[in-house]
Amino acid sequence: MKIQEADAKSLLAAQGLPVPPWAVARTAVDARAAAERFLAAGAGRVVIKAQVLVGGRGKAGGVRLAGSPAEAEEVAGRILGMQIKGIPVRKVLVGPAAVIVKEFYLGAILDRASRRIVLMASAEGGVEIEEVAKATPEAIHRVAAHPLLGLLDWQARELAFAVGLAGPHLRDFVRIARGIVATMRAYDADLVEVNPLAIIRESGPEGHVERLACLDAKVTLDDSALPRHPDLEKLRDLDEEDPADAEARHYDISFIHLDGSIGCMVNGAGLAMTTMDLVNRAGGAPANFLDIGGGAKADRVSAAMRLILADPKVRAILVNIFGGITRGDEVARGLIDARARQEREVPMVVRIVGTNAEEAARLLREAAFETAATLDEAAAKAVAAARQATGGAA
């Protein structure tokens, strides 16, 4: 689950990381009021940032500065009326504009290969880290946190030295790096990213001081872990959620879009992966990962079919069900119901074995469905149907 920048900053702040103050505004008038507060508190200017769950906001004009409440209202009005990568901007973040001395990148991911949280840092902050990884991969430095002890101080210092941080900022970097790993663990996150982590200059009673601050934040949460964190569900931005993802969650269906043309409906994650592999081996490409789970009833099967058919790239559908808890006849009834409701004709190949498979076969035969006895046969038929529908490509 992706969450907006403002919500990500709240999670970092809860772990004690240095995050500048902010306010969220849904109207230009609210943005003006927030700007007035920050300017009155001593900020020279305010920054206004579009809150959308895509990258490239700055390049699209979704991040701007304002030096007065009136200008903040004008800028916020323009940003709230724009779209970034097809997503309308419905709210903006308003905060004091920082005087940036130097920008860095700092992020943590869950690395499944090493089974550890891996922290990454780069001296090239403020730009998309994917571009840095492509152009200058040697500019990204990595350390893996200990699975029990977490990120150790010496590891954090090693990262700091690698990106050129030393002296008075070293202790702050260690604290922030450890805090990012703590955020990963506290909320079962897949990704915690601060870009930029910046040295900022502030004026105080003793003159100018410089400190490290988290000027931006990106966090993605593991959906499967949300039952352990029911309070985090309210951070889901329903305005930007794909309707297909919302429907899949409603019916408790595991669903992931892919780039192929063969829609797959399977019960069980392992069987789903095997099905996708066999589709590839038969010369096709799966359009999705879809696991209807155990004990699926006809309504869930019908919903799964709607999800698959909502993808215009789908040219054939492969249904592979191994009936244990799931009853084959329930799946068959769901498929029949879904085909009666579907808005476009897409060839479908069905393989159902296990519980009530005989009754399922009877229902499917009477409804004139294409069936297969083995998974290899089903995959081959689905790929052939997709090729026929697309004039040769699957």
Q: Which residues are catalytic?
A: 105, 193
User: Which amino acid is present at 18?
Assistant: P
**311/297 Cα distance (integer angstroms):** 23
Determine which helix (DSSP H) or strand (DSSP E) holds 147, and give its type and residue range.
none
**154/177 Cα distance (integer angstroms):** 11
Torsions phi, psi of 32, nearest 5? -60, -45
**155/123 Cα distance (integer angstroms):** 17
C-alpha distances in Å from residue 235, one per residue of 63, 165, 281, 331: 22, 34, 40, 34
Residue 196: asked if its preceding bond is cis (omega within 30°), the reply is yes
Residue in 109, 80, 102, 95 with CA at minimum distance from that of residue 45: 95
Q: Please check whether residue 300 is in contact with residue 325, taking contact to mean a CB–CB distance below 8 angstroms.
A: no
Torsions phi, psi of 261, nearest 5? -120, 0
Half-sphere exposure of 345 (CA within 13 A, CB side): 3
C-alpha distances in Å from residue 345, one per residue of 122, 160, 309, 318, 340: 51, 58, 9, 14, 10
